[in-house]
């Protein structure tokens, strides 16, 4: 439900009653992953989506029912060969959906409110809810914030309870914080005593993280189009160039930050993490070589550099001369972008964005027509759709 946090947070502030349907489990091919949500308020207003349309009429009815009865339910939707018009996923997959009411006077309303407020602000938080287990625990919210510097998990780091059992809550803190640190949405299974087992209570954890960073080095014409593509993909985009005449707000109105500095110096001083994307568009050795020598040694998600194949070979030679290893060079995506035949800045930005998405999701970049590969890739240990990406 954190994927629609901004709208739900507004509903909370307006005092509305609403019910939220959240995808908690997916099998086979399905349009949306765990964490995808649809909500209905007391007036019948709908926001969000759980399936791209194929079961949403039935999910809407379940939300209305949950508002009327005040009880959470879990419903399974799958494909029906016997009745083509039955409610189901025509793509052949199976999803489980947790439908939970969030009334204005509900005792756990404050926990939902805190989670939605944090996610709407772009803050870090993990929302845990039981979706398999005793009926009285279904949908109970438990909010976990990041660990503090001292690693203490008990002081101001969580709100709510999954059922009043301290061992269960303790386990939920640890598991939720691990998923939050990875920026992932996922599930874990515990017994009521808090010991891991194969039954009893299954919990979905939705993670919300601040937007990942895209740093575009080189205030060239192609950079303006890439800034727009990066914003579209949900990145916080910084443009960095040492030349103040080119690095201007007028040229890059959609950038979050514009930095006038030598690229390698800025990279050494700024904060990056394993979701950060670095795009080097300068294709000038005096900028590229010191910058890439630093970038290829950082634990970031993606390092790509623009240039012809001749530029690429010359740049690799120069990088080797300054001590960059073959293992480090293997991380460099150059020439940057997928082979789309792109020529214009906008087409080139699409090509670069497509390679970034493929790297994030484990895609091949090949056409889906005639391919036998899965449409939706599951990257083991990788980021989820709920708030994390490279």
pLDDT in tens, 215-252: 999 999 899 999 999 999 989 999 999 999 999 999 99
Same domain, 276 and 203: no
Domain boundary among 106, 132, 160: 106
Q: Is 181 exposed, middle or buried (0-12, 13-18, 19+ CB in 10 A)?
A: middle
Q: In 3-state terms, what secondary structure has residue 261? A: coil
Going through 148-235 in order, the beta strands assigned E by DSSP cover 158-160, 186-190, 201-208, 213-217
Claim to verify: residue 226 and residue 315 sit in the same structural domain: yes
The domain in which residue 353 lies consists of 213-361
Note whether 76 and 196 are same-domain residues: no
Number of domains in the chain: 3
Same domain, 20 and 113: no
Give the pLDDT band (50/70/90) at residue 193.
low
Instruction: Please indicate, yes or no, whether residues 179 and 254 belong to a single structural domain of this protein.
Output: no
- Domain ends where: 72, 106, 140? 106
**Whole-number pLDDT of residue 370:** 75
Angle between helices 285-295 and 309-321 (to 10 degrees): 60
Which distant-in-sequence residues (6+ apart) come within 8 Å of 289 by Cβ? 315, 318, 319, 322
Q: What is the pLDDT of residue 155?
A: 39
CA 230 to chain centre: 14
379 Cβ contact partners less than 8 Å away, ≥ 6 residues apart:
360, 361, 362
Same domain, 187 and 112: yes
Give the residue carrying structure tokens 């691990």: 178
Higher pLDDT, 214 or 25: 214
Q: Are residues 246 and 331 in the same domain?
A: yes
Length of the chain: 390
Sheet strands (E) in the chain: 18-27, 37-41, 46-48, 73-78, 94-102, 125-132, 141-144, 158-160, 186-190, 201-208, 213-217, 236-241, 257-260, 277-280, 302-305, 332-333
Candidate ranges 85-99, 232-246, 362-376; pick with highest mean pLDDT: 232-246
The answer to whether residue 217 sits within a structural domain is yes
| Gap between the Cα atoms of 337 and 352, Å rounded | 4
Dist CA 258 CA 103 (whole Å)? 44
pTM for the predicted model, two decimal places: 0.69
Q: Quick one: pLDDT at residue 188?
A: 87
Q: Is 127 helix (H, G, I), strand (E, B) or coil?
A: strand
Report the chain's mean pLDDT, rounded to a whole number.
84
Residues 61-90: tens digit of each pLDDT: 999 999 999 999 999 887 554 443 344 555
pLDDT at 343 over 50: yes
Say whether both 269 and 311 belong to one domain. yes
Is residue 72 located within the same domain as residue 122? no
> Cα–chain-centroid distance for residue 84?
34
């Amino acid at each position: 439900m954190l994927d629609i946090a901004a709208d739900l947070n507004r509903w909370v502030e307006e005092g509305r009653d609403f019910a939220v349907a959240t995808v908690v489990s997916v099998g086979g091919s399905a349009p949306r992953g765990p964490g995808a949500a649809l909500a209905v308020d007391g007036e019948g207003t709908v926001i969000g989506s759980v399936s791209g349309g194929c079961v949403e009429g039935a999910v809407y009815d379940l939300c209305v029912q949950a508002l009327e009865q005040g009880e959470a339910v879990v419903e399974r939707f799958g494909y029906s060969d016997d009745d083509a018009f039955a409610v189901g996923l025509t793509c052949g997959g199976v999803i489980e959906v947790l439908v939970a009411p969030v009334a204005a006077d509900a005792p756990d309303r404050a926990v939902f409110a805190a989670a939605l407020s944090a996610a709407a602000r772009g803050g870090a938080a993990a929302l845990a809810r039981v979706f398999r287990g005793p009926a009285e625990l279904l949908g109970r919210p438990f909010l976990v914030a990041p660990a503090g510097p001292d690693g203490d998990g008990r002081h101001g780091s969580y709100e709510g309870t999954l059922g009043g059992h301290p061992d269960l809550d303790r386990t939920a803190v640890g598991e939720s914080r691990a998923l939050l640190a990875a920026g992932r949405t996922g599930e874990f299974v515990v017994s009521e005593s808090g010991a891991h087992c194969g039954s009893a209570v299954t919990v979905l954890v939705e993670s919300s993280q601040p937007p990942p960073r895209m740093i575009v080095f080189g205030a060239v014409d192609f950079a303006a189009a890439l800034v727009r593509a990066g914003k579209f993909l949900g990145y916080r985009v910084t443009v960095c160039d040492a030349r103040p005449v080119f690095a201007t707000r007028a040229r890059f109105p959609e950038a979050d930050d514009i930095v006038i500095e030598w690229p390698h110096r800025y990279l050494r001083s700024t904060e990056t993490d394993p979701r950060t994307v670095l795009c080097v568009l300068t294709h000038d050795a005096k900028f590229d070589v010191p910058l890439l020598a630093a970038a290829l040694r950082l634990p970031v998600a993606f390092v790509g550099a623009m240039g012809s194949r001749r530029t690429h070979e010359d740049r690799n030679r120069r990088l080797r001369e300054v001590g960059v290893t073959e293992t480090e060079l293997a991380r460099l995506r150059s020439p940057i972008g997928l082979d789309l035949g792109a020529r214009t800045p906008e087409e080139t930005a699409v090509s670069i964005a497509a390679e970034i998405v493929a790297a994030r999701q484990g895609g091949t970049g090949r056409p889906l027509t005639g391919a036998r590969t899965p449409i939706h890739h599951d990257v083991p240990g990788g980021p989820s759709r709920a708030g994390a990406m490279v």
